[in-house]
Amino acid sequence: MTLQSPGSAHLVLADNVVHLDPAPAVLEALLEGWRRQQSARFLKSGTVARRLQLIRRLVQFTGLYPWQWTPAEGEAFIDHLRGGEKPRELSTARGYEVAISMFVEFVLDPRYGWAQVCAERFGETPQRIFHDGNAILHKGDYEGDPRRRPFTYDEIQAFFEAAEARPGRIIERGVKGALGAARDAAVLKSVYAYGLRRTETSKLDLADLRRNPKMPQFGRMGSVMVRYGKSSKGAPPKRRSVLLVPEMDWAVDVLDEWLTDLRPRFSPGKHPALWVTERRGRISPRSINEAFVAIRRDADLDEKLDVHCLRHSAVTHWTEFGYPPRFVQEQVGHAHAATTAIYTGVSNEFRNQLLLASLKSRLGDHWELTP
């Protein structure tokens, strides 16, 4: 049973076949074995493909095969990533280290037999190239770009004003795209109102708009059923229901206009998608991102703001509206409250309100702040 695991060498390498150039053949078999092992874990095909591509990049960078790598090759690769016109972020580089280490552990695992194949055919045994002495340390809970933050209320206002003005500007230029721009404005307003991710938004269907019995005034826009939430590794997409809060009831009019006026003009037929394209298809996450960038440019906002910042803004503003932390956590589908806390960037005005409320509860109505 030891060598019956998916990805085992004897299941991938053909018996009694002599290769004129055995090293490339073994490399391809090795990568196919790792692909099978990861597929057996039900990892997403995109994740597996990116990892295989990374290993090929490292082979190309070093000019060596995996059984020839040493820690020096790993260090040189990470050092290379830090340079150039677009140096990689720390979290990205660590992700590369983790993926490469997972591959090396697979090669060394005796249950798969690849280390033995390398030793027999090339006289070299693979070794770990990242260790405690050269791996990137994980010192903080959050390593994202500190410039990525929630929108301020003024920025939200400017952003959506630019989004609303965009269709008219396109019409004035006499070019196509005004209808798509009106759709994009509605999409991004919904991202903010419900605190959604790009992929979650693109995969919404008409049937995912649900009524909230406690808020009948919102009609079918009272909640959104997210069926394709971000999944854990090897797990299916997470599901959650997001409630529309009264402070964002303007989203009802936005969605109503989209459903009754704008969407029919795309002639979607029986397509189930909530957000459709001019070609009667489902809008893609990439299209949502491109629309965001165009509107952000029109509004002359910080270029570090991205689509995900709208989700950060929803978390922050729900918190400032006074909703309990657990409610906010459930709204965005976080397994841990600490993740939601990272998203939150409340204003000084809100913090001062909390400070004043705390002082009043402790000192009564007769306290005074020292000038």
CATH of 9-122, one of 2.60.40, 1.10.860, 1.20.1070, 1.10.150: 1.10.150
| The two three-digit tokens of residue 158, written as one number | 């400017």
Q: What is the 3-state secondary structure (H, E, C) of 246-275?
A: HHHCHHHHHHHHHHHHHHHHHCCCCCCECC
Q: Which of 94, 203, 263, 334 is catalytic?
A: 334
Q: Is 197 a catalytic residue?
A: yes
Q: Which of 230, 265, 280, 351 is catalytic?
A: 230
Q: What is the pTM of this model?
A: 0.71
First to last CA, the chain: 77
Rounded average pLDDT per 10-residue block, the chain, 371 residues: 65 65 90 93 89 96 95 93 82 89 94 92 93 75 64 94 95 92 97 95 96 95 94 80 95 97 95 95 96 96 93 91 90 78 60 56 58 47
Query: Residue 283: in which H helix or E strand, if any?
Result: none
For residue 4, the model assigns a pLDDT of: 61
CB environment 272-297: b (16+ within 10 A), e (fewer): ebbbbbeeeebbeeebbeebbebbbe
For residue 31, the model assigns a pLDDT of: 95
| The two three-digit tokens of residue 101, written as one number | 């280490």
Q: Is 148 a catalytic residue?
A: no
Q: Which of 112, 192, 228, 343 is catalytic?
A: 343
Contact 299, 159 (CB under 8 A): yes
Q: Which of 238, 271, 308, 323 is catalytic?
A: 308
For residue 344, the model assigns a pLDDT of: 62
Q: Which of 35, 197, 282, 317 is catalytic?
A: 197
Taking the C-alpha atoms of residue 293 and residue 301, their distance in angstroms, rounded to an integer, is 10
Q: To which residue do tokens 């509605």 refer?
A: 186
Task: Provide the sign of the torsion angle of the four alpha carbons 78, 83, 86, 90, taken in this order.
Answer: positive
Could you state, in order of their start, the residue ranges of all structural domains in the chain?
A: 9-122, 153-307
Task: List phi, psi (to 5°) of 283.
Answer: -65, 145
CATH of 153-307, one of 1.10.443.10, 3.30.2010.20, 3.30.360.10, 3.30.200.20: 1.10.443.10
Q: Is 334 a catalytic residue?
A: yes
Q: Is 139 a catalytic residue?
A: no
For residue 371, the model assigns a pLDDT of: 47
Taking the C-alpha atoms of residue 191 and residue 255, their distance in angstroms, rounded to an integer, is 12
Q: Which of 51, 282, 311, 312 is catalytic?
A: 311
